[in-house]
Structure 1
Amino acid sequence: MNMPVKNSPVSNPFGVISSSYYEQHLRFNLQNLRERKNDKSKPPFSITKEFILRFNQTKNPKEKEELLNLAKKTLLRCKRKLGLRTLGTGKHVHLPTAWTEIVYVAQCKGKIQDEALNMLYTSLDHASFDYEHLPALFFLAESILYRLCCDAFLKTYLYSVEIKLTKIGYLIFLRLFIYFLYGHLESFNQHLLRLQPYLYALSFSGESYDKYPNIFSNVQIILKTMEIICERELLSGSFSNPVENEKQCDNIDSDMGRVQPSQGGRDVNSLLWHCTAAWTCAQKDSPRLKKVLEHLLFHKTHLQTKCWMNSVLALLVLGEAAKLNMDCLRTLMDLMKDFLLSIMTVQNQKEKCKADDFSWAWNVVYTYVTTLAEACLYVAISNLRKTALVGFCDCKSSQRDTLLLGKSEEQPELRNTSILGLLDYFSSKMSDNCDQVIWIGYYGIVYNLVKMSWELQGDEEQDGLRNLIWQTLQKIKDHEKDGRVHIAINIAKAELNNPMDPFTSYRTKVSSNARDEVFSKFIGWRIANALSKLFFPPTNAHILPSKKPLIKQDGMKHLYKRQDSLKKRVLRFTVRKHPSVSELPMVPYPDFFTKGDEELTRIIDHHWQKELKTREEEYAICEAKEGKDKELEEKNRFREIMKRREEKLHKKTKPYELPTRTEVIASEKKMTQNRESYARNSLYEKDQDSYMLEKISSN
């Protein structure tokens, strides 16, 4: 596993999942789908174990082409069911069935496998939270863990498909953790027990993945998530000692930071609660945001707690708020600066280092680097993007030679925790025996810079940002001699499915499929939205519907009567506007004053639109009047010109206009008459002259 990465997913033959549980699960989903359609249309083709074996083993070109066409049709059907273009919403979308089918399709080798995993990753990134998704999520979790433990560990090389599997597993278990906070996993003990053997095997993957922090971070989050969930859910069951359960649950509660109660019955630390409050205020542009951020900084020490899963969620949520507001971005960077300074101070003191174990701290640092890279790409304002990349400090030292990475100079202080600021700080402290936080933080920055450069390809508006990132990577490639940093570049290239060098192919356009899996664009927003609904629940709606308990037949009449009486009181919340849980508003319902402000804003906007319409009409009338005046002025001017022309030339025709036929004939007659009269006059004058000459001569 410590050997170089192979980019081609074709050379990674995953085994076929032959468990009867999977087949029953797929048959159950397909049967439900047929029942919903009332047997009007049956699916023309379904992925089966026999099809997968034929697809992977056949050598007949004609049969291979037929199977490939069938697999492509299945992918298109799954793509529609996943709702990739509509963020997982629509009447044609059914995520549990689509997830199950896509897992089966992903067992086919080659491009089909690669595209299926990309589709699954994209769907898990942007899909909403729904209680009905839980069985399918456990099915996905078991499938991904099966592939990692039973297939990937047996390979001598690290494959690009393996990277995708860990990223998909990261999204799955993040979602399960949110359901755990809601208290929805109590009835899924059997599913959790089925995951135990795979998690136990995955816990021994440290030696295989310790050189690849991007993969190891996903694995650690999977293991930490299930450690918290299983210890709370499984130990609280009836199959163990209740006294020991209470003690162990108390220990878990102390790790979780039991401060803020929630409706789901799970408690979280104050830092996560305040980060969620900050995101809620940033969404509504509330004036209380500054106070929330001030209180948030009082709980910055919670970032150093050993139960770092809450810290990861807090950074994800605050990172989403930082995409909207500069104050939130400043708070996020201040949190990480304080965390790094505290960790490095403790690591330098050998006595405290024995008492405090911060071997987990690199997970928090790596999550922060990834969150900041996503914020740099997907912020709402360009000023936020610049700050995330360069920082708030205008000092020349922060931008001085970040690209040069000179290690012979004095080691700089941690001035800011922007991307380039951390690059300058970590690169100056890199050595063969440096702390784990240092080299993993440096690795994470280089790895994410390569992905950012790839994501920005083809975006002409961000050419300046991409050129700066490209120059930084070029300097790293030329001056960095540490092999671990070059591994980060190779891993990023393999993950992007690009065998070419990103330093020479920067003008190449990237396909949409390759871009979809670079970063998780929506999972942070989905988590922040779900936690906001949990900590600040609205009055009339829940983002995750409650579980449906079994009801005895004896009490059905009483229940129906009670429900009928409640319907008359409660069903005022307009089902037409919210036909499904997934279409509920993404922001908590506002309070009375916020509603008043929104209503006043709506009234002002309405009157302003009327005023604009009136002004437009007046402007149109003025323009029409000015046009008529100009036209009349032109006519009068033309008449004056024609009048002067007629006086001078004695012509009534317009310039460059031929006269009519009658006028020509009249003018010709007039000319002939003039000629005749002139001739008669000239003859008469000649006769007179001759007469006078004769008279003179006679005298």
Structure 2
Amino acid sequence: RPPFSITAEFILRFNQTKNLKEKKKLLDLARKILLKCKRKLGLSTLGTGEHVHLPTTWIEISYLAQCKGQIQDEALNVLYASLDHASFYYDHPPALFFLAESILYRLCCDAFLKPYLYSVEIKLAKIGYLISLRLFIYFLYGHLESFKEHLLRLQPFLHALSFSGEIYYMYPNIFSNVQVILKTMEIICKRELPSDTIFSRVENKNQHEGTDSHMEHLQDNQKSYEVNNLLWHCIAVWTCVQKNSPHLNNVLEHLTFHKTQLQNKCWMDSALALLVLGEAAKLNMACLKTLMDIMRDFLLTIMSVQNQKENGSVDFSWAWIIVSIYITILTEICLYAAISNLRKTAFIGFCDCKSSKKYILPLDKPEEQPELRETSFLGLLDYFSSKMSDNCEEVIWIGYYNLVYNLVKMSWELRGDEEQDGLRNVIWQTLQKTKNHEKDERIHNALNIAEQAELNDPTDPFTRVSSNGGDEIFSKYIGWRVANILSKLFFPTADILPLKKLLIKPHKTKYLYKKQDSMKKKVLHFTVRLYFKVIEIIYNHVPQYLTQ
């Protein structure tokens, strides 16, 4: 046995010992194991290098995360950072299923017994989100057909997690992660498992009447999963940005034709579409504007329908999930966009700079409720705050909750960054005004959860020293990894990008990185119906902005 190894005996001794001398010895050994895991995960090299072996180290770090206290927090932070930036390899699914089972067990068995939300639950939900997102990509590539036993083992935990609404409803940022976990597993299980499993209930066909045939997600008789046009065009946009294509505006125009697909109840494709388009928006202003326009149209439609009693039969109970995902993506654009103008626009909007101060420091709720002119961060903050009430729609209070929640996280993320003093000052001032003038207890709950449970340190953002300097609170790379791997699936030819979906024939794909020759290499079939003449665009050959 290696000198630095995790065993059940070690975990029990670490958690139960009361001898200070032995506790110090075990803590020192746990730190050495943690350092070894960090090296094997390649945290400083984005998961690459000869010394890196992700699957076994993911499992090892998950064992280490059972040691209570600071070791547990650091181990979960390391696991989250690794799952965020790691590439997609063929030998990852077994380890991902192991992690999924471990995370779901802890969410269902440990979290359900606690009366309050703790920082561990936040980290577990965020890790579970990244795991489910990665498994969904492998599902699209057709690599989960041989993992039916793993999916069956997840069924009891998924069933228990589906009843967690009462526990997490008042914490929408966590609840949205839980909903993504459940939705991705529901789609995968319906496709891969027999019809008598928990998530294989047949949906009412009347729910899909009036939609295009290519919008149906599950084709059981054809054994194929069909994505909608919104996701397909978002991937096309991202590919154009990567290739510096002169036809980007043309593809963006085609994308806007399918913006109404964001309103469909099968929202997983919409969430992926926003994630991919958000990555393009970090590099290109036209993509950012399209992203904001699509969300503005979505919000106006949702609010209009909810205000009309005669349309009460329309179910938009899931709309808050899309709003939460969009706000998270917009926050990441504010922090990590390629140029300062993109970051400023995502936060303030496209408004005239002379009049931007009125959006930065809202004092009181105006007598006349403002219109939703644009879905920038401050634009949404102004719009949602003006409509807050005790009995407002859940889209309003959850949207406002997530905005305030992410304000706290952004101010903490930008601490000590002299290059972004202006943005940090605006965020800090907006946050202070919100704290002083907002009376709704739900919003103050967002402030407290963000400061105490998420960050564990309500330190003033202008203080340069913080005890949690290495914590990962935002996902910086998973969107790019997903967009990159999906573009290789949808557009395998490097030089050609069609404006319409092409039929992807069965073939052995070469785009996922190979580490074990014995792993099956399959790609799922994508069916296309009633499409017109395909228009092809020739790319200019230029170096990619982002590299592996």
Give TM-score, length-normalised by structure 2.
Answer: 0.87
Name stretches of at least 5 consecutive residues in structure 2 with no aligned partner.
495-508, 521-535, 544-548
Residue 533 of structure 2: aligned partner: none
2:463 equivalent to 1:507: yes
Q: 1:536 aligns with which of 491, 509, 518?
A: 491
Compute the displacement of 1:395 (Å): 7.7
Cα gap change, 1:550 to 1:68, in 2 (>3 Å): closer
Instruction: Judge conservation of contact 1:260–1:268 (CA < 8 Å) in 2.
Output: no
Q: Structure 2 CA distance, aligned partners of 1:224 and 1:277?
A: 24
Residue 500 of structure 2: aligned partner: none
Report the 3-state secondary structure (helix = DSSP H, G, I; strand = E; otherwise coil) of the residue aligned with 2:372. coil
Residue 413 of structure 2: aligned partner: 455
What amino acid maps onto 1:100 in structure 2? I
Q: Structure 2 CA distance, aligned partners of 1:82 and 1:136?
A: 14
Seq. identity, %: 69
Compute the displacement of 1:336 (Å): 0.3
Instruction: Judge conservation of contact 1:80–1:92 (CA < 8 Å) in 2.
Output: yes
CA deviation profile, 1:9-60 (whole Å, cap 9, x unmatched): xxxxxxxxxxxxxxxxxxxxxxxxxxxxxxxxx6223111111101100011
Report the 3-state secondary structure (helix = DSSP H, G, I; strand = E; otherwise coil) of the residue aligned with 2:92. helix
Q: Structure 2 CA distance, aligned partners of 1:195 and 1:401?
A: 47
Residue 185 of structure 1: aligned partner: 144
Q: Structure 1 CA distance, aligned partners of 2:224 and 2:27?
A: 49
Q: RMSD of the alignment, in Å? A: 2.8
Q: 2:345 aligns with which of 363, 387, 402?
A: 387
Cα gap change, 1:272 to 1:405, in 2 (>3 Å): farther
Instruction: Judge conservation of contact 2:274–2:291 (CA < 8 Å) in 1.
Output: yes
Instruction: Judge conservation of contact 2:217–2:225 (CA < 8 Å) in 1.
Output: no
2:162 equivalent to 1:203: yes
Cα gap change, 1:390 to 1:59, in 2 (>3 Å): same
Instruction: Judge conservation of contact 2:334–2:343 (CA < 8 Å) in 1.
Output: yes
Q: Structure 1 CA distance, aligned partners of 2:361 and 2:384?
A: 13
How many residue pairs are counted as aligned between the two chains? 507
The 5-angstrom pairing of residues 212-231 of structure 1 reads 212-231=171-190
Q: Structure 1 CA distance, aligned partners of 2:214 and 2:174?
A: 25
Cα gap change, 1:349 to 1:43, in 2 (>3 Å): same
What amino acid maps onto 1:527 in structure 2? V
Residue 528 of structure 2: aligned partner: none
Compute the displacement of 1:544 (Å): 5.0
CA deviation profile, 1:395-420 (whole Å, cap 9, x unmatched): 86664255224224200000110000
Q: Structure 2 CA distance, aligned partners of 1:246 and 1:362?
A: 22
2:268 equivalent to 1:309: yes
2:46 equivalent to 1:77: no
Instruction: Judge conservation of contact 1:71–1:112 (CA < 8 Å) in 2.
Output: yes
Residue 48 of structure 1: aligned partner: 7
Q: Structure 2 CA distance, aligned partners of 1:518 and 1:73?
A: 24
Compute the displacement of 1:518 (Å): 1.4
Compute the displacement of 1:258 (Å): 5.2
Instruction: Judge conservation of contact 1:362–1:440 (CA < 8 Å) in 2.
Output: yes
Instruction: Judge conservation of contact 2:91–2:519 (CA < 8 Å) in 1.
Output: no
What amino acid maps onto 1:543 in structure 2? L
Cα gap change, 1:496 to 1:298, in 2 (>3 Å): same
Cα gap change, 1:121 to 1:245, in 2 (>3 Å): same
Highest CA radius of gyration, 1 or 2? 1
Q: Structure 1 CA distance, aligned partners of 2:164 and 2:413?
A: 30
What amino acid maps onto 1:507 in structure 2? T
Instruction: Judge conservation of contact 2:91–2:516 (CA < 8 Å) in 1.
Output: no
Q: Structure 2 CA distance, aligned partners of 1:255 and 1:506?
A: 54
What amino acid maps onto 1:88 in structure 2? G
CA deviation profile, 1:608-665 (whole Å, cap 9, x unmatched): xxxxxxxxxxxxxxxxxxxxxxxxxxxxxxxxxxxxxxxxxxxxxxxxxxxxxxxxxx
What amino acid maps onto 1:200 in structure 2? H
Which protein, 1 or 2, shows the higher relative CO under an 8 Å CA cutoff with sep ≥ 6?
A: 2
Cα gap change, 1:207 to 1:246, in 2 (>3 Å): closer
Instruction: Judge conservation of contact 1:183–1:266 (CA < 8 Å) in 2.
Output: no
Residue 98 of structure 2: aligned partner: 139
Q: 1:491 aligns with which of 449, 454, 479?
A: 449
Q: Structure 2 CA distance, aligned partners of 1:166 and 1:160?
A: 10
The 5-angstrom pairing of residues 67-146 of structure 1 reads 67-146=26-105
Name stretches of at least 5 consecutive residues in structure 1 with no aligned partner.
1-41, 552-589, 599-699
Compute the displacement of 1:515 (Å): 4.7
Instruction: Judge conservation of contact 2:100–2:132 (CA < 8 Å) in 1.
Output: yes
The structure whose residues are more often helix, as a share, is 1
Q: Structure 1 CA distance, aligned partners of 2:386 and 2:537?
A: 50
Cα gap change, 1:256 to 1:105, in 2 (>3 Å): farther
Residue 279 of structure 2: aligned partner: 320
Q: Structure 2 CA distance, aligned partners of 1:510 and 1:247?
A: 53
Instruction: Judge conservation of contact 1:256–1:310 (CA < 8 Å) in 2.
Output: no
Q: 2:422 aligns with which of 458, 461, 464?
A: 464
Q: Structure 1 CA distance, aligned partners of 2:353 and 2:12?
A: 62
Compute the displacement of 1:526 (Å): 0.5
Instruction: Judge conservation of contact 2:89–2:515 (CA < 8 Å) in 1.
Output: no
Instruction: Judge conservation of contact 1:182–1:266 (CA < 8 Å) in 2.
Output: no
Q: Structure 2 CA distance, aligned partners of 1:247 and 1:492?
A: 39
Instruction: Judge conservation of contact 2:41–2:57 (CA < 8 Å) in 1.
Output: yes
Instruction: Name the stretch that deviates more: 489-498 or 535-544.
Output: 535-544
Q: Structure 2 CA distance, aligned partners of 1:328 and 1:260?
A: 30
Instruction: Judge conservation of contact 1:372–1:419 (CA < 8 Å) in 2.
Output: yes
Compute the displacement of 1:251 (Å): 7.6
Instruction: Judge conservation of contact 1:458–1:510 (CA < 8 Å) in 2.
Output: no
Compute the displacement of 1:204 (Å): 0.8
Residue 35 of structure 1: aligned partner: none
CA deviation profile, 1:570-612 (whole Å, cap 9, x unmatched): xxxxxxxxxxxxxxxxxxxx998634x77xxxxxxxxxxxxxx
What amino acid maps onto 2:540 in structure 1? T
Q: Structure 2 CA distance, aligned partners of 1:273 and 1:118?
A: 33
Instruction: Judge conservation of contact 1:186–1:233 (CA < 8 Å) in 2.
Output: yes
2:315 equivalent to 1:357: yes
CA deviation profile, 1:330-389 (whole Å, cap 9, x unmatched): 0000000000000011001111122x1000000001111110010011111111111101
What amino acid maps onto 1:309 in structure 2? M
Q: Structure 2 CA distance, aligned partners of 1:385 and 1:246?
A: 42
Compute the displacement of 1:547 (Å): 9.0
Residue 288 of structure 2: aligned partner: 329
Residue 540 of structure 2: aligned partner: 594
Q: Structure 1 CA distance, aligned partners of 2:515 and 2:6?
A: 33
Give TM-score, length-normalised by structure 1.
Answer: 0.69
Instruction: Judge conservation of contact 2:414–2:461 (CA < 8 Å) in 1.
Output: no
Q: Structure 2 CA distance, aligned partners of 1:393 and 1:223?
A: 39
Q: Structure 2 CA distance, aligned partners of 1:474 and 1:246?
A: 47
Residue 132 of structure 2: aligned partner: 173
